Structure 1
Amino acid sequence: MIPIRSSRPDDAPVLFDVWLAAVRSTHDFLSEEDIGFYADLVRDQYLPAAALLVAVDGDDRPVGFLGMTGCRIDTLFVDPSWHGRGVGRALIARACEGGPDLTVDVNEQNSAARAFYRRLGFREVGRSALDDSGRPFPLLHLALDGSGRGGPTGA
């Protein structure tokens, strides 16, 4: 069982490190300039203000996090050294406690994330040519089937 708790203000530096390591591991389509652009937003605006679910190790050190607005997953990042160990699945399962009709946007170029969400039962329901910052990184809009079939605990 992976412990999950609410974020605390003092988590922000470690969560930023998790974000940066995950982006460098999975977003090979981004240039260093692009990463710098997003890093400033994440570090200075998003993390200080967001209420997040945080997956932690046995020493209460964050290894992954998930942010939501309503039933929409805004962000999900897991430390690459924890990939494949159920952290993302556990965070999604916790998110489902608020209702099974989750949605998420995923970068079209991020094949690992697309495969992860597909394994959990998400399906494509739309596409945008630009990301939320208006940059040319297409997003796939995904939705989890709220019927309970193929959800995070049954995929």
Structure 2
Amino acid sequence: MPIVRPYDSADLAAVLAAWENASKIAHPFLQADFQAQVRRDIPAVYLPNADTWVVEADEQVVGFIALIGNEVGAIFLQPAYQGQHLGKLMMDQAQALHGELEVEVFEKNTIGRNFYAKYGFRLIEKKIHEPTGECVLRLKFTPESPKPSDTTS
């Protein structure tokens, strides 16, 4: 049974592996030097400043989600585990913590865009990502209010 739990420093190698393997298929358009800098920044900059959760399946860490407030800074899952609702499990954790969520995704990242659209994110802004020159989409998820028939009095 998959579980989502808080990140521990012992998870670093698995988190980096998930990022690297998923990024290869989601971001083939990014330059190698930019990717190398991101890999250095994950343990040095991003993880220390984010609320990070990992997902375990088959008794191993196979993905993670990093939150900065209600911003999804990163969500990556080993390719072999994609399509098994583990990304949704991590996003559900983020949504339970923060309600409304925002995220930026590269326009060319069709894997990520499809995932966010399926989860219910909507486009709020389109801009250029200065470090890469690539177009990024800022998306927002707003939970639906319960319908009167869904509530108990």
Cα deviation for residue 48 of structure 1 reads 5.0
Name the counterpart of 1:70: 69
Aligned residue for 2:97, secondary structure, equals: coil
Bigger drift between 72-81 and 45-54 goes to 45-54
Q: Distance in 2 between matches of 1:62 and 1:56?
A: 4
Higher-Rg member (1/2): 2
Q: Which amino acid aligns with 1:3?
A: I
- Shift of the 49–9 alpha-carbon distance from structure 1 to 2, 3 Å rule, reads farther
Q: Distance in 2 between matches of 1:51 and 1:144?
A: 18
Calculate the TM-score normalised by the size of structure 1: 0.85
Asked if the contact 2:34–2:132 (Cα under 8 Å) also holds between the matched residues in 1, the reply is no
Q: 1:144-155 alignment to 2 at 5 Å?
A: 144-148=141-145
Which consecutive unaligned segments of at least 5 residues does structure 2 have? 147-153
Q: Distance in 2 between matches of 1:144 and 1:50?
A: 19
Extract unaligned runs of 5+ from structure 1. Answer: 150-155
Q: Give the structure with the higher percent strand.
A: 2
Mapped contact 1:16–1:47 kept (Cα < 8 A): no
Counterpart check, 1:142 vs 2:131: no
How far, CA to CA, are the matches of 2:102 and 2:113 in structure 1? 13
Q: In 2, are the aligned partners of 1:3 and 1:56 still within 8 Å (CA)?
A: yes
Residues 148 and 115 from structure 1, CA distance in 2 versus in 1: closer, same or farther, beyond 3 angstroms? farther
The structure carrying a bigger helix percent of its residues is 2
Give TM-score scaled by structure 2 length.
0.86
In structure 2, relative to structure 1, the CA distance for the partners of 1:145 and 1:91 (3 Å cut) is: same
Q: Distance in 2 between matches of 1:49 and 1:10?
A: 17
- Summarize the Cα distance change of 1:70–1:50 in structure 2 as closer, same or farther, 3 Å threshold: closer
Match of 2:15 in 1: 15
Distance 1:19-1:91 versus aligned 2 partners, 3 A rule:
same
Q: Secondary structure at the match of 2:99?
A: coil
Counterpart in the other structure of 1:152:
none
Q: Partners of 1:148 and 1:58 in 2: how far apart?
A: 35
**Equivalences, count:** 146
2:124 alignment partner AA: V
Aligned-partner residue type, residue 5 of structure 2:
R
Q: Once superposed, what is the RMSD of the aligned Cα atoms?
A: 1.8
What is the alpha-carbon distance in structure 2 between the residues aligned to residue 51 and residue 11 of structure 1? 14
Aligned to 1:33: 33
How far apart are the structure 2 equivalents of 1:34 and 1:97?
32
**How does 1:1-155 map onto structure 2 within 5 Å?**
1-47=1-47, 49-59=49-59, 61-131=60-130, 134-148=131-145
CA-to-aligned-CA distance 1:107-138 (integer Å, 9 cap, x gap): 1110111111001110000012115xx33122
